[in-house]
Chain A
């Protein structure tokens, strides 16, 4: 193995008495890409937070270029040439690109207490060119797409001449094109001599980018070596500590022909156009589309969160008008939204109360009478157990203390108390590790077997192909094609998804 730019020497870290890192020793190679993989909670982010100055290790030390390195704040890390591109980006959306890049130290005019704007602009322009983002330095960050914002973060790293750049799940909110651009940029940074740490759940990406791969499990380093020594299956086996035979659980039931959700000609100017399809009892119907294809917007309209101008929705044969979330729930619909933090959970509230929120009115005679606490908490405990939600005392612990996969299961659980006839589920496996993904697929399978019609929206084609009975492909707000399971073929589906509007 090559020489190390940064060395972790038996670092340990605990939170709330739980040992998150159990003595990790790892060399970050100079001028290469290190792929860091592991399940949620394996300690990847904590390890990187030590490097980025967010936390300090309880025991052990770090060496940067052979010298002890103990950053106390993220700006210490930046000063040492280490940049951390977080999963949730750290930009001030109300400021311009140039202001964001110089936020840690604005250049001043020599004789006046004022900012040297022209210098800021000129430098920013250089950095933006280096990351191939062709917009004005004065553009407000709020006007940029998630992918473009990430490029600004990278430009910021270039501005303080970062020698180590850490990427934590950088592709979760990028389009395919933006992802491709990011990968090219990472490869260029490496050839310019930067050392990269790349964290991701998307293992094929790791295989493509990394020179070396390190696998963490339960706070320990279980493998580290050149990429050639790894395959995707080996990585998975190392991550979960056992071999997973298959990524998708087998279907044990077949869809029926009884319609549960009939959608007729749903349209809303500029968002979706003439959407017509039928979801059957016990069917898993996939909706595939690229970012901006209208897939999530369609889900919001079906559930009554957004308006539509035209068209008809029938649930279990009954037409339902003037949709709202409450009416949809009463009609037997459930909706697992794509952003569990923003729309799925009450992060600071107890796990049990999160799970109970949707079905809550059922446990009391009226809104101002007492909730039947015994029945309420018994049923919550049951559904939590049936989904194997792990990691906390349900009534005491806030849901934010759970790992990503368990948070997602909590979101699903809150809809299952009402035994829905239709489940709309949007990107349920985003930011969730391999083991939890399998569990979520199994839950969806079980629901379908019990008769629920599932509308499964995703941008990951493989999982839709692995789980669904049928698939709708959307592009430009329209359904471009429908495929049944025996017609699933990656290229055909992608071609439909990339199809531009004919008009």
Chain B
């Protein structure tokens, strides 16, 4: 337990010189404790991790690599924002990666300007939605914006479906979205017979690869969405309802909170944000890919939870999720630079996540002890 060893930091310096080691140790402990309990803990953790690796992998601090880390954050953040909403209402959305796969395929199928019949002739969409000459929007002036609208709409629709199953039919969110994950990712693969759809409009591809003064478009768009999401959570009636439903759904019901509507809205937001993430990822690949996002589930849920948003609901902030995403992107990046095999990357990643989770538990316990 902490005693009242040091009252003011300034005076502490002179006193610690007198009392030497014991007080100095007290100061260190106090600072560590403050760091551990800070809202910015995960940010500090990321910085420490970065600095610790720097001597071993000098490349990590090269301008090009920093640029990579920076631009990798935003598409992942978009998805994690959606997950944050759902976690706050004490739900979980495992179907996000499958939403990404499906909407990327649908969007690409609408926009593509040329398809190889050898690859796509067996697709159930062949001759109905697209042909050798591409999809219905091929070459159209507003192809990209219209396709993006459709993608977001499909994301919203799947979210609505998930939310309705959870809120109205009282099904466990884990089951609903797990089944959704299987169903929609299988559907995406079935629609295009496992093939990537390429030949997308340039304006669409630019969204994933374009920059303004070395800053990717995704930064501006997702950054603005993150601010809007945080504003929604902390300043509006709906945001407060999210926390209330997550903290105690029975109290929320008695207090007149439209619980069903709130839950459905959270899942719709999750679906839409997954679709936004899909737009950036598929634009960067310049392709609609039926396995898009397949490996992202752990990253999304992990980043959100390590940021500090509770799996039990009622607690969470977009800023925390930003830090969590930064940590994950940094981790991924550093492991890639080490040139490890895929298996090693997964093993190390798992261990680091476990460690971060353990730190989080320690933090919670410290907070409870006061």
Interface string of B224-240 (1 = CB under 8 A from A): 00000001100111101
Indicate whether B370 reaches chain A with its CB closer than 8 angstroms. yes
| Distance of A368 Cα from B244 Cα, bound (Å) | 16
B56 to chain A, nearest CB (A): 41
**In the bound complex, do residue B237 and residue A361 qualify as a contact, i.e. CB atoms below 8 Å apart?**
yes
Indicate whether A386 reaches chain B with its CB closer than 8 angstroms. no
- Residue B254 contacts which of A17, A343, A356, A360 (CB distance < 8 angstroms)? A343
**In the bound complex, do residue A349 and residue B314 qualify as a contact, i.e. CB atoms below 8 Å apart?**
yes
Q: Give the contacts of B243-289 with A (CB-CB under 8 A).
A: 243-244, 247-248, 250-258
| Distance of A369 Cα from B240 Cα, bound (Å) | 12
**In the bound complex, do residue A349 and residue B256 qualify as a contact, i.e. CB atoms below 8 Å apart?**
no
List chain A residues, Cβ under 8 A from B184.
Answer: none
- Residue A369 contacts which of B236, B248, B370 (CB distance < 8 angstroms)? B236
A319 to chain B, nearest CB (A): 20
List chain B residues, Cβ under 8 A from A371.
Answer: 235-237, 240
User: Given A305-B254, A325-B255, A329-B256, are A347 and B240 neighbors across the interface (CB < 8 Å)?
Assistant: no
- Residue A342 contacts which of B238, B250, B258 (CB distance < 8 angstroms)? B250
**In the bound complex, do residue B248 and residue A357 qualify as a contact, i.e. CB atoms below 8 Å apart?**
no
**In the bound complex, do residue B314 and residue A346 qualify as a contact, i.e. CB atoms below 8 Å apart?**
yes
A343 to chain B, nearest CB (A): 5
Please name the residue on chain A nearest to B370 by beta carbon.
A16
| Distance of A329 Cα from B258 Cα, bound (Å) | 12
Q: Is the interface of B mostly helix, strand, loop or mixed?
A: helix
**In the bound complex, do residue A346 and residue B251 qualify as a contact, i.e. CB atoms below 8 Å apart?**
yes
| Distance of A369 Cα from B255 Cα, bound (Å) | 20
**In the bound complex, do residue A357 and residue B240 qualify as a contact, i.e. CB atoms below 8 Å apart?**
yes
**In the bound complex, do residue B257 and residue A357 qualify as a contact, i.e. CB atoms below 8 Å apart?**
yes
Interface string of A311-338 (1 = CB under 8 A from B): 0000000000000011011000001010
**In the bound complex, do residue B258 and residue A345 qualify as a contact, i.e. CB atoms below 8 Å apart?**
no
- Residue B248 contacts which of A15, A329, A346, A364 (CB distance < 8 angstroms)? A346
Interface string of B306-335 (1 = CB under 8 A from A): 000000001100000000000000000000
Indicate whether A370 reaches chain B with its CB closer than 8 angstroms. yes
Indicate whether A246 reaches chain B with its CB closer than 8 angstroms. no
B268 to chain A, nearest CB (A): 13
List chain B residues, Cβ under 8 A from A363.
Answer: 237
Indicate whether B120 reaches chain A with its CB closer than 8 angstroms. no
List chain A residues, Cβ under 8 A from B254.
Answer: 303, 305, 325, 335, 337, 343-344
Listed residue (B231, B253, B254, B258) with the most chain A CB atoms within 10 angstroms of its CB: B254
List chain A residues, Cβ under 8 A from B253.
Answer: 305, 325
CB contacts between A and B, total, < 8 Å: 82
User: Given A16-B370, A342-B251, A349-B314, are A358 and B244 neighbors across the interface (CB < 8 Å)?
Assistant: no
- Residue B241 contacts which of A305, A367, A369 (CB distance < 8 angstroms)? A367
**In the bound complex, do residue A348 and residue B255 qualify as a contact, i.e. CB atoms below 8 Å apart?**
no
| Distance of A326 Cα from B259 Cα, bound (Å) | 11
**In the bound complex, do residue B247 and residue A346 qualify as a contact, i.e. CB atoms below 8 Å apart?**
yes
List chain A residues, Cβ under 8 A from B240.
Answer: 353, 356-357, 360, 371
User: Given A325-B256, A349-B314, A358-B256, are A344 and B251 neighbors across the interface (CB < 8 Å)?
Assistant: yes
Known: A357-B252, A368-B238. 10 other contacts (CB 8 A): A16-B370, A305-B254, A343-B250, A346-B243, A346-B244, A349-B247, A358-B255, A367-B238, A370-B236, A371-B235
Which 10 residue pairs across A and B have the least CB separation, nearest first?
A: A16-B370, A346-B247, A326-B256, A329-B256, A367-B237, A367-B238, A357-B255, A325-B256, A370-B235, A343-B250
- A-B contacts, 16 listed (Cβ < 8 Å): A303-B254, A305-B254, A325-B253, A325-B254, A325-B256, A326-B258, A337-B254, A343-B248, A346-B247, A346-B252, A348-B247, A349-B314, A357-B255, A358-B255, A358-B256, A370-B236
Give A contacts to B, CB under 8 Å. Answer: 15-17, 303, 305, 325-326, 328-329, 335, 337, 342-349, 353, 356-358, 360-361, 363-364, 366-371, 373, 414
